[in-house]
Structure 1
Amino acid sequence: MIGDTVIQLQNIDVFQQKHLVLSDVNLEINKGEFVWLIGQTGSGKSSLLKVLYGDLHLTNGDGHAGGYNLKTLASKDVPFLRRKLGIVFQDFQLLSDRSVEKNLEFVLKATGWKDKTKISERIRDVLEKVGLRSKLRKMPHEISGGEQQRVVIARALLNEPELILADEPTGNLDPNTSEEIVMLLKQISLSGTSVLVATHDYHIIRTFPSRIIKCENGKVMDHTEFV
């Protein structure tokens, strides 16, 4: 692995079951990069993300993510890979029966944190980063969709990941809230955490021009910027 390379894929093929979705994929993402991942529904965006976070096994080619070899990745190592990669989904996936604080505490305890003081400090730190320090005690249903997505981003930041993978993070949000979420993800990339955002939202891409990777006709193409 090269020093500042967080994702490195060389000549990989991506399969869903036995169906070839993407072939001969070559991709590098460096520390602190903000990258858009675009393509029509069914073009392979989510499958590519699943390879990166260990949900789809890599059989052909070479791939590294967060310091892990995706080809030789054992099932027992997938949780450790996912600590290096913060994952943000469209549908939030917050635990509805517990507060914002308890949602974040659950993740920290599940990933081996034991010191109550450090847990509390880390939760407050990530909520500060996403502008939600005052929502610590709120239940998910008591906050807006945009605030819930900020909690999800805070959750993704808990273990100081090298990369955040965001799959349609603005899919359930209105345009203004979507822009706020992307601005937040941009800020996170400027602090050194790489961010890869899969989206259908071309308006948001034009608003925040950046490097673009496109899945199309079974291939992955790298564009410098959206035209």
Structure 2
Amino acid sequence: MDQNVVITLKNVDIYQPKHLVLSNVNLQIQSGEFVYLIGQTGSGKSSLLKVIYGELPIGAGEGMVAGFDLKKLNERDIPFLRRKLGIVFQDFHLLTDRTIEKNLEFVMRATGWEDKKLMNDRMLDVLEKVGLRSKLKKMTHELSGGEQQRVVIARALLNNPDVILADEPTGNLDPDTSEEIVLLLREISRSGTAILMATHDYQIIKNLPSRIIKTQTGSLLDNISL
């Protein structure tokens, strides 16, 4: 298998829970690729993302994500798969009663980090990448929406993921801030992390074009144009 391919789905059927949502899905995403995922609400976008991060099992077909075989994935494997993935949601899911530092530390301890110096170095490194190094000690509620989403992206980068799955990451942001967040994600993809970004914001896609995949009438269409 090509070492640069981080997501492969071959002839995959996706059920939610017993209802067939997407059939015969074929998808390949390489390291460093930036891909938009579009489609109407209820067309299977979230189900596709759930298959990739191990929340939904695949029906028929084969799937590999970040070196994990989705057919053989069991409960014990899922935390290890998710360490290879960064997940960014529309709702920030930050701990609002803690500083940025404590938010990042919480995730690191939960994923097996122990060495305080290594943790501190990594926190500063990911905050530098998202332009928030100076905000380490700030409480999350003191940040703007765009800054909070940058913290979420920093959190997603902590474990050097092969892939970041971004589900409507600009849904709660104004147009200028949305564009900044997408530019940041594109910059991250250039360093080798694949980005799959679900969005309804076609203006962003027109301003910052890239490969587009679309869920439609039970299928996944690849390389479409708007």
TM-score (ref. length: structure 2): 0.99
- Tell me the equivalent position of 1:197: 197
Q: Partners of 1:176 and 1:106 in 2: how far apart?
A: 30
Name the residue aligned to 1:187.
187
Partner letter of residue 197 of structure 1?
M
**How big is the shift at 1:59?**
2.5
1:63 alignment partner in structure 2:
63
Alignment root-mean-square deviation, CA: 0.7
State the identity %.
67
Determine helix, strand or coil for the equivalent of 2:109: helix
Structure 1's unaligned 5+ residue stretches are none
SS of 2:61's equivalent?
Answer: strand
Other-structure match for 1:88: 88
State whether structure 2 residue 27 is matched by structure 1 residue 54.
Answer: no
CA distance, structure 2, for counterparts of residue 133 and residue 31 of structure 1 = 26
Task: Return the letter of the residue paired with 2:135.
Answer: K
Match for 1:96: what amino acid?
T
Q: Which runs of 4+ in 1 moved over 2 A?
A: none
CA distance in 2, matches of 1:115, 1:130: 23
How far apart in 2 are the matches of 1:32 and 1:216? Answer: 26
Tell me which residue corresponds to 1:41.
41
2:121 matched residue in structure 1? 121
Greater mean alpha carbon deviation, residues 54-63 or residues 212-221: 54-63
Q: Deviations over 1:63-88 (max 9, x none)?
A: 01010001110111111101101000
1:164 matched to 2:164: yes
Cα displacement string for residues 79-107 of structure 1 (whole angstroms, at most 9, x for unaligned residues): 11011010000001001111101000111
CA distance in 1, matches of 2:115, 2:60: 42
Q: Equivalents in 2 of 1:187, 1:26: separation in Å?
A: 26
Runs (5+) with no aligned partner, structure 2: none
Q: TM-score, normalised by structure 1?
A: 0.98
Deviations 1:102-126, CA, capped at 9 Å, x for gaps: 0001111111110000000000000
Question: How many residues are aligned here?
Answer: 226
**Partners of 1:117 and 1:79 in 2: how far apart?**
24
